[in-house]
Amino acid sequence: MTPAKSGDLAGATLRIATRGSPLALWQAERVSTLLRDAVPGLDVELVIVVTSGDRRADVPIWEMGGTGVFVKEVSEAVLTGTADLAVHAAKDLPSLSPHGLDLAAFPERADPRDALVGCTLDALPTGACVATGSVRRRAQLANLRPDLTFVSLRGNIATRLARVSEVDAVVVAYAALQRLGLEDRVAEVLSPEVMVPQVAQGALAVECRSGDERVGGAAALVDQVSTRLAVEAERAFLGAIGSGCELPCGALARPTSSGAVVVEGMLASLDGRVVLRASAEGGDPAAAGVEVSRKLLEDLGGAELLEGVR
């Protein structure tokens, strides 16, 4: 996507579709600020969309089909012309974009790690109860601590943090707490060696209509190359695995100083008894992501593991 010239949109208004949660609004406002900084005189309006994931807050995400439940209606607002752009948490996106839409930008990524609120991992008592809505998190924690018990967790960040009074700990994305100024609630940030993050966790994605050079070019002005390389590698991994947040898998990619990308991937059984890890490095982010999935599925027996999960 060729970046637009700043003068092309001076005085114009771009409509950004977003969910209405405090975190989603923060994300949309952040992208709005970046766009205004990149294009002096640009005006931005937010279009609030309620998704199926928002309406069914009492149902586990994987029971609703997993990845995509928080983005479908937001993307449709762009497709139908109700909005010009959409801002998503990149981790909520399916591995393939809907026909007619492009991912025009990935702004600077926040910390991709997961965080425990309420108690550190080592301090959790035997048989402690942990709240999480993620099978990825549950599987990895169960592998580390088979004694732990788990309950489901849904809702916005405030709702999730309120559950700390009922359980020993909750697990949330560290980036979400940072963005909402809630870092003081963190008991422990979990390293990727302990818990591999969800694909694209901590990253934002700006989506526009395919072929809309004017809007897509403006969005490209806020794209960060290192974030794009990492997210593209992780999404390629997810596409090759063929799963989303309904299955226990994760990946984290890191661009190197030489321009290559190192990708680490994880695939687990639902009960956490088996956790497989593999890594790959290459100059082509997508190829590196696919290679990690191949290692997990073929070399380490993950294909059979997935059949058992599904």
pLDDT for position 249 = 95
Average pLDDT over residues 49-65: 60
Reported confidence tier of residue 290, pLDDT bands at 50, 70, 90: very high
Average pLDDT over residues 99-128: 97
The answer on pLDDT for 3 being more than 60 is no
Taking Cα atoms as reference points, which of 140, 161, 27 lies closest to residue 85? 27
Enter the tokens of residue 124. 């959790």
What is the average pLDDT score of the chain?
91
Q: What is the pLDDT of residues 142-193, one digit of tens each?
A: 999 999 999 999 889 999 999 999 999 999 999 999 999 999 999 999 999 9
pLDDT for position 55 = 57
Q: What is the pLDDT of residues 119-139, one digit of tens each?
A: 999 999 999 999 998 999 999
pLDDT for position 300 = 95
Distance, first Cα to last Cα, the chain: 38
Q: Which of 127-131, 241-245, 247-251, 302-306 has the lowest mean pLDDT?
A: 241-245
190 three-class SS = strand
Decide: 201 and 67 in contact? Cβ < 8 Å.
no
At CA 259, angle to CA 37 and CA 108, rounded to 5?
25
- DSSP letter at 109? -
Strand segments, DSSP code E, in the chain are: 13-18, 43-48, 85-89, 101-105, 114-117, 129-131, 149-151, 169-173, 186-190, 204-209, 249-255, 261-268, 275-282
- Single out the catalytic residue among 92, 102, 168, 223: 92
Taking Cα atoms as reference points, which of 111, 112, 93, 109 lies closest to residue 207? 93
- 299 counts as catalytic: no
Reported confidence tier of residue 9, pLDDT bands at 50, 70, 90: confident
